[in-house]
Amino acid sequence: MTAAQKAGDPGIDTERRAASPLLIKLVAGVVLLAIWEVGVRTFAPAYVARPSGVAAVFWPVVSSPEFLSATGDTLGAVVEGLLIALVAGAALGVAMGRSFVVDRLLRYYVFALFAMPMVAILPLITLWFGYTGGARLATTVFAAFFSIAMSAADGARAVPTEFLEVSRSFRTPRWRLWFDVVLPASLPYLLAGVRLAAARALIGAVVAEFFVSVNGLGMYILFNSRSFRHNQAMVAVIVLAACGVGFEALVNQATRRYLPWYRRDETPR
């Protein structure tokens, strides 16, 4: 250790503070907000959203009954759709991963539907379910189902052979082999699929609300944007982003709590 370090050189302390990841992220956020504020004030019309305007209307918006109702409708549809997609997608994915026949029958159809844009399927969904909340729920399930099915299939294929051999040596029934060995060993892959499915489900619900015009955050954003109340619309966008981040944090917490043996290869940054 040098004499400067022993004496607590202020230059070294400044470098250490500057190297803090949290500090760097905060500084970057403040800079981006400042650029946004100055750019809108300088070049954009007065009704365009800017940080100061969003901050001014944030609490009145999020505490209003209209916004709370829209948030509840959207998040309720997302949670319901995710649960349906999780049960059905995990069942289909495990079947594809462990059955050669099922995999060959369904693999390319699952891949094709996963790659299909949600906007392209929405007109058909509205024909089947009408311009109701059912169309939003169906879109949410469609958006989330295939991500979960594909991840579960990859996880079922990746089950170590030793696990299966030990289970068969004890003459484990097939149904218990799937539930006690294959499904738990596939959980890391399944959680990765749930992460992707949650984001897709949230997008699917909002897009369906745009198209079907049912109550929700998507309709709230659309109505306020067309009414030139961009600050209020931006509040809904921020809440949607916060919901996505919150779900990611929830999945990470569940992984650390219930899968302590699972660790990612990469180092968190």
**According to the model, what pLDDT value does residue 266 have?**
43
What's the rounded Cα separation, in Å, for the pair 95 and 247? Answer: 27
**According to the model, what pLDDT value does residue 13 have?**
55
**According to the model, what pLDDT value does residue 58 have?**
93
> Domains in the chain, start-ordered, CATH in brackets?
56-258 (1.10.3720.10)
What's the rounded Cα separation, in Å, for the pair 120 and 21? Answer: 41
Instruction: Find the angle CA(188)-CA(173)-CA(166) to the nearest 5 degrees.
Output: 60
What's the rounded Cα separation, in Å, for the pair 116 and 139? Answer: 12
Instruction: Find the angle CA(240)-CA(241)-CA(242) to the nearest 5 degrees.
Output: 90
**According to the model, what pLDDT value does residue 269 have?**
41
Model confidence over 16-49: pLDDT tens digits?
A: 554 578 888 888 888 998 999 898 888 888 888 8
What's the rounded Cα separation, in Å, for the pair 198 and 201? Answer: 5
What's the rounded Cα separation, in Å, for the pair 195 and 67? Answer: 26
What's the rounded Cα separation, in Å, for the pair 269 and 260? Answer: 20
Written as tens digits, the pLDDT of the chain (269 aa) is: 454 454 555 555 555 554 578 888 888 888 998 999 898 888 888 888 899 999 999 999 999 999 999 999 999 999 999 999 999 999 999 889 888 898 899 989 999 889 888 888 888 898 899 888 899 999 999 999 999 999 999 888 888 777 777 777 777 777 777 777 788 888 888 888 898 999 999 999 999 999 888 899 999 999 999 989 999 999 999 999 999 899 888 888 877 777 766 655 444 44
- Report the Cα 188 to chain-centroid distance in Å: 16
Instruction: Find the angle CA(113)-CA(213)-CA(46) to the nearest 5 degrees.
Output: 110
**According to the model, what pLDDT value does residue 10 have?**
53
What is the number of other CB atoms lying within 10 angstroms of the CB of residue 168? Answer: 12
Closest CA to 123 of 96, 104, 142, 107: 142
Measure Cα distances from 249 to 85, 140, 196, 242, 252 in Å.
20, 21, 13, 10, 5
**According to the model, what pLDDT value does residue 263 have?**
56
**According to the model, what pLDDT value does residue 267 have?**
43
**According to the model, what pLDDT value does residue 208 have?**
93
For every residue of 167-232, DSSP letters joined together read: HHHTT--HHHHIIIIIHHHTHHHHHHHHHHHHHHHHHHHHHHHHHH--SSHHHHHHHHHHTT-HHH
